[in-house]
Amino acid sequence: MLRFGVNFQSKCIFTCGFPAGNPVGRLRRTTLYINVRQNYTLKKKSILFMRHRSFKICINIIFLEVYTNSRVHPIKNNFVMVYLSIWYTLIALFLGWWGTGFLRPFRSFSNTVKAMHINLTGGEDFTQEMNDTEFDDKTNYVWNNLLRKTTETINKNVVEIIIDIQENFETSNSEYYTSENINYINSNLNKIKLNSLSSNELNDIFDAMKLYSNTMELKTVHSDNSQYRI
C-alpha cells in the first residue's frame, strides 16, 4: 500500500486544509488528489473485473505422461475464455489417449476425460488468488472478513482506500469507529467521486479492521513468547 509522499500513482490520504506544523508534517497531511480517480478506475478495470483461469494440459504418448495445469491466463473477455477452452481441449483430445503405462493402463484415458471436462467448463478459477497478490495483507484480510452484503456493494479497491483514510484519521483522533469517523470517511470518499457508504457497511469494515488488529497483536505476543523460551 502506498504511503505519503510525492508519487503520481498515490491513491489518497485526506485532510481538510493545510495543517499547522513543520513542513514534513504538512506534506504528510496534505491531500494528494494527483491522478486519484484515473488510478482507481484503471486498477478497477484491469484487476477486479478480470477473471483468471488455468486449464489442464494432458499429453500421453507411449511412456510420456503429462497431466498438469497451464499457466494462469487473464480472461479479458468471453472470446479469450472460449479460445483457451477449445485450445487446451484439443491438446487433450489429440494427444491424451496414447499412453501405455503398465501399472495403470487406463490412467491416460481417465486423465484425458478429466482434462477435457475441466477445460470445456471454463478451467479452474484463480481469480481470488491473483487478486490477492495486488493488495497488501491488511486489505486482503479485511476484505475476506466482510459480510457478503457488504462485498456486493463495494470492491477491494474501495476497501484499500478506506483503510488509508482510516489510518490518516487515527493519526489525529483518539476515538475511532464513531459517527465522526464515519462522516470523515464518507466525506473523503466523495472528494474522489466515490459513493458514500452506509453506517452498517462501514461498521462491518471497522469490525474487520479490529479483527485484523487483534490478530496482529496475538501474533506479536506469540512471537515474543517464543523468543523468551529460546
DSSP state letters, 65-104 = EEEEE-PPEEE-SHHHHHHHHHHHHHHHHHHSSEE--SS-
Within a domain: residue 44?
Answer: no
Domain edge (last residue) among 80, 107, 129: 129
For residue range 104-159, list pLDDT tens digits in order: 668 888 899 999 999 999 999 888 788 778 888 999 999 999 999 999 899 888 99
Mean pLDDT, residues 44-64: 77
62 versus 42: the higher-pLDDT residue is 62
Whether residues 176 and 122 fall in one domain:
no
Whether residues 90 and 119 fall in one domain:
yes
Within a domain: residue 158?
Answer: yes
Whether residues 142 and 165 fall in one domain:
yes
Whether residues 103 and 55 fall in one domain:
yes
What single DSSP character describes residue 153? Answer: T
Q: What was the pLDDT predicted at 214?
A: 92
Which candidate, 150, 156, 135, 161, places its Cα nearest to that of 197?
A: 150
Specify whether the CB–CB gap between 123 and 53 falls below 8 A. Answer: yes
Domain edge (last residue) among 106, 129, 152: 129
Mean pLDDT, residues 38-58: 65
Distance of CA 78 to the CA centre of its chain: 22
Domain that holds residue 119: 51-129
CA 164 → CA 3, 161, 188, distances in Å?
8, 5, 11
Whether residues 79 and 158 fall in one domain:
no
Q: What was the pLDDT predicted at 18?
A: 36
Residue 43: count of CB within 10 angstroms of its CB: 18
Whether residues 208 and 145 fall in one domain:
yes
Specify whether the CB–CB gap between 11 and 2 falls below 8 A. Answer: yes
| Whole-number Å distance between alpha carbons of 103 and 101 | 6
For residue range 192-206, list pLDDT tens digits in order: 989 999 999 999 999
For the chain, the domain total comes to 2
Whether residues 141 and 180 fall in one domain:
yes
Q: What was the pLDDT predicted at 64?
A: 85
Tell me the β-bridge partners of 65. 60
Query: Percentage of the chain with pLDDT > 90?
Result: 52
Within a domain: residue 154?
Answer: yes
Mean pLDDT, residues 160-189: 94
130 versus 103: the higher-pLDDT residue is 130
Within a domain: residue 168?
Answer: yes
Within a domain: residue 230?
Answer: no
21 versus 122: the higher-pLDDT residue is 122
